[in-house]
Structure 1
Amino acid sequence: MEPSSILVIYVTRIGDTMLVTPAVRALAQAWPKARIDFFGSRTSAAVFRHLPFVSRVGVLTKKRIRFKGWLQRKSYDLALVYGFDGDGPFVEYALRVSRQVIAFKQRKESLNQKLLASIDKTTIRCSNSVDYLFSLIAPLGIPKAGLHLSYVISESERQWAVARLAALRDGGAGPIVGLQIASFPTKGYRDWPVENFVELCRRIRSEHPKAHFLILGGKREWKRTRALHVSLSGCSTHYAGRLSLRQTAALMGQLDLYIGVDTGPTHIMGALHRPMVALYHPSSPSRALAPLEHPCCHVVDHPLADRGATEHTPMAGITVDAVWEKVRAALSGEFPPPLVTPWTP
C-alpha cells in the first residue's frame, strides 16, 4: 500500500494537536510523494499552518461535518481519524471521502467493521503521549521520523516578533523570559500558585537585574495574569488575551527562556527548541507529556508524580526552590540530555 493522498483528522486542543505532529511527519517520510491534508479545529489548523510536510490545512466542526462529503468522489486513498467523537461523525465523514480509514475503536460496531483498522485505546501500552498517538499509524508498518514535535514560525511572523521586542532589546533588557502561568479552565489543577511565580521572578531579577517578563496566556486567565503583572510592575509586559495563538508562538521563538505549566503553549515551545522550564502536575507527569528530543529543556515534576496523586493534589507541592534550581541552570546554559523514549511500530 502506497497512498498518493492522505487525510488526517484531529479536532482537539493545542497540546494534543502538537503531540500528533511526529506521527504525521512519519507519514510524510514514508510516502514523500503523497499529498497530506490536515483537518481539525480552528486551533488545530493554526498549529499545522506552514508545516512543510502538509499540503493543505482545513477546519472541521461536528455541527457542519454531517453535511460534507456526500456529493464528492472519494478523494483520498487513506484517512486517519484521531480522537474519539462519541457517535462518530468524523469517522463517518472520513469513510465518505477516503477509500480506506484507520481510527480509534468507535462506539458503533457498524463503523468499526468499515475501517481498515480500529485501534482499541484500552490495549495501548506506552510511556509517552507521542508514542500513544503513533499507535494509530502502527498498522501501516512505517518507521518513525523522530519523536520531536513540529511547529513552524513563518518569516513574516518572526519579523513581527523581532520588531515587537526591539524596544526592550535596544533598551538593554535581558534575559527576556516568557511566563505561561495557567492551563486551560478544565485543567486548572495544573496551575502553579501566582505568588510562587512572583517569588521566582524576584529571584531571577536578583541575579539578572535587567530581566524582563512577557506574561502569556488567554483571556480566561486575565485575573491571574493581571495579578502577576501588577506584582512585577516595571519589569513585565502583559500579553495574555491580547495576541493570537500564532503571534504568541512567534514571540516565544524570540525568548531567552520560557517557564510554563503543562498546557498548549508549553507544547508549542517544546517544538521550538528554545530554552524552557516546564512544570508538571503529578496526575500528568513529564514522562507522559514532556517534549522528546528537545536539546534545552528542564522539567520539574511534582514530588508525588507516579505515587497515587489525584487531580486534587495541589501544584503548590512544587516548591519555588525546585523551580529556581532549574531556571538558574537554564539561564547558565546548562541542560540535561534530551528525553527520548523508544517506539517500535
Structure 2
Amino acid sequence: MLIDAIDLTAVRRVLLIKLRHHGDVLLSSPVLTALKTHAPHAEIDALVYHDTREMLSGHPALSQLHTIDRQWKKLGPLGQLRAEWQLLSVLKSRQYDLVITLTEHNRGAWLVRLLKPRWSVGPQGPYGRFFKKTFTHRYLQVPGNRRHTVEVHLDALRRIGIYPAPDARALTLLPGADAEASLAAKLAASGLVPGGYILVHPTSRWLFKSWPAEKMAELINQLTARGERILLTAAPSADEMAMLADISARLQRPVASLAGQLSLKELAAAIASARLYIGVDSVPMHIAAAVQTPCVALFGPSGDIEWGPWQVPHRVVAANMACRPCGNAGCGGSWRSECLEKISVQQVLAAVDSLQEALA
C-alpha cells in the first residue's frame, strides 16, 4: 500500500514540466489526460519549450500552456532575465499545489523551490544532491528496464497514487480547425483526397535515424507501381530538404509533395487524413500514433520498445543486430547507421502489406 499518496481533493492547480524535444513532449500528453480524469476539478497547466508548444496546445485537459523560448538568450543578459522573471511571476500567480517534472532538468528543480507547491514529483536518479532534496516524491527509473516512454512518464502519477487504466493512456494531439482547413486546400491543390494516400515522411531531424535515400526512393517506386498515391513531407531544414531532393530525383513517377510547406499542426492534419503512414523514428511517427493513423516505422539506433508507435496499429521494421539499439549517432558516432542500411526494401514492403491485410 502506498503510504504517501497525495489527497487529490486538495489539489486545485497542477503544473506539468516537460523540457525536451517535440516527440518527448507529445509522449507526455497522457499524463495531462490522466490527471484530469482523476482530478476533474483541478486546473492543469504545462510548461514546455516554445518551439514544442504545438505538441500540447489544444489538449482538452489543459488550462494554460506556458513556454520557455530558447531564443531568449539572444536578448542579452538583461533581456533574458526580464523574460525569465516575467515567466516566474506568471507561474507564481497560479499558486500550484502540485508540480510534476518529467525530466532531470535542473530548471524543474529550481521552479519547485521557487514556486513552493505542497507536493512535487520528479525522477529518481543520479542527478545530484540539489535535485534529490527538492521533491516530496520521486518516481523510480530503473537503468536497463526497457519500457515505453509513455509508461515511464505515467510512473510520476503512480508514485502519488494515480493509476491510469490501460485504455486511458492514449496520446492526444488536436490539429485544430484552422490547420485542417488549410491542409484540405493544400491536399486539393495536390490532387489528393482524405483517406486516398499514403503519407511518407523519410527524414528525422537526426539524419542518422533516416533510411538511405536510394532505398526510400525504391520503396516509393514500388508503391506507385501498384497504383498507390503518395504524399511526401519533411521539415523545412536544409538537411531534410536536401534528402527529399535526392529521393525525388530517383522517382520513376511523379508524387505529391508538401515537404517544407506544413506547420506542425498542418502536418498532424495531413497524417490524420492519410490511409497509412511510413517513416522513421521521429516526431511525425508519434503524431501518427496520436491521430490513430496506422504506421510502418523503421528503427535503427533508437529503441523501438521505448519509442515505438504507441497504441496504434503498426509494424516496426528493424535489423536483427546484437548492437542495436545503441542510442548512438550512427556507428561509432559517424552519423551512418548500419542497422538502418541493412533494412531491405522488401522488408518494408512486407510490413506495409502485413499491416494493410490486418486492417482490411
One fold, TM greater than 0.5?
yes
One-letter code aligned to 1:198: A
One-letter code aligned to 1:251: A
* Structure 1 residue matching 2:221: 3-state secondary structure: helix
1-structure distance, mates of 2:62, 2:195: 36
In the alignment, which residue of structure 2 is the partner of 1:260? 279
* Structure 2 residue matching 1:287: 3-state secondary structure: helix
**Residues 238 and 38 (structure 1 numbering): CA distance in 2 closer, same or farther, change over 3 Å?**
same
In the alignment, which residue of structure 2 is the partner of 1:114? 134
Contact 2:101 2:108 survives alignment (8 Å): yes
Deviation at 1:122, TM superposition (A): 4.4
Paired-residue identity, %: 21
Contact 1:303 1:317 survives alignment (8 Å): no
Contact 1:161 1:254 survives alignment (8 Å): no
Choose which of 13, 31, 47 in structure 2 pairs with 1:23: 31
Q: Any stretches of 5+ residues in structure 1 without a counterpart?
A: 337-345
Contact 1:8 1:80 survives alignment (8 Å): yes
Higher RCO (CA < 8 A, seq sep 6+)? 1
Say whether residues 1:319 and 2:331 are aligned partners.
Answer: no
Say whether residues 1:328 and 2:345 are aligned partners.
Answer: no
CA-to-partner distance for each residue in 1:252-275, whole Å, 9 max, x for gaps? 111122110001111111111112
* Structure 2 residue matching 1:157: 3-state secondary structure: helix
TM-score of the pair, normalised by structure 1: 0.85
CA-to-partner distance for each residue in 1:159-187, whole Å, 9 max, x for gaps? 222221124447x89842222112223xx
Contact 1:95 1:101 survives alignment (8 Å): no
Choose which of 61, 74, 84 in structure 1 pairs with 2:104: 84
Deviation at 1:143, TM superposition (A): 1.5
- Summarize the alignment of residues 1-345 of structure 1 with structure 2, pairs less than 5 Å apart: 1-2=7-8, 3-61=11-69, 64=80, 67=85, 68-69=87-88, 72=92, 75-85=95-105, 88-97=106-115, 98-105=117-124, 107-122=127-142, 125-145=145-165, 146-169=168-191, 175-185=196-206, 188-208=207-227, 211-219=229-237, 220-232=239-251, 235-281=254-300, 283-294=301-312, 296-304=313-321, 307-309=322-324, 310=326, 311=328, 312=331, 313-314=337-338, 315-330=340-355, 332-335=356-359
**Residues 173 and 226 (structure 1 numbering): CA distance in 2 closer, same or farther, change over 3 Å?**
farther
1-structure distance, mates of 2:315, 2:143: 31
Deviation at 1:93, TM superposition (A): 1.6
Deviation at 1:321, TM superposition (A): 0.6
CA-to-partner distance for each residue in 1:87-123, whole Å, 9 max, x for gaps? x123212332233221124734234323111335345
2-structure distance, mates of 1:61, 1:122: 32
Of the structure 1 ranges 234-243 and 251-260, higher mean CA displacement relative to structure 2 is found in: 234-243
CA-to-partner distance for each residue in 1:187-213, whole Å, 9 max, x for gaps? x322101111111111111211x5233
Higher helix share: 2
Let me know the Cα RMSD of the aligned residues.
Answer: 2.6
* Structure 2 residue matching 1:216: 3-state secondary structure: coil
CA-to-partner distance for each residue in 1:99-153, whole Å, 9 max, x for gaps? 3221124734234323111335345834212112222222111121423211112
2-structure distance, mates of 1:203, 1:174: 20
**Residues 29 and 328 (structure 1 numbering): CA distance in 2 closer, same or farther, change over 3 Å?**
same
One-letter code aligned to 1:114: T
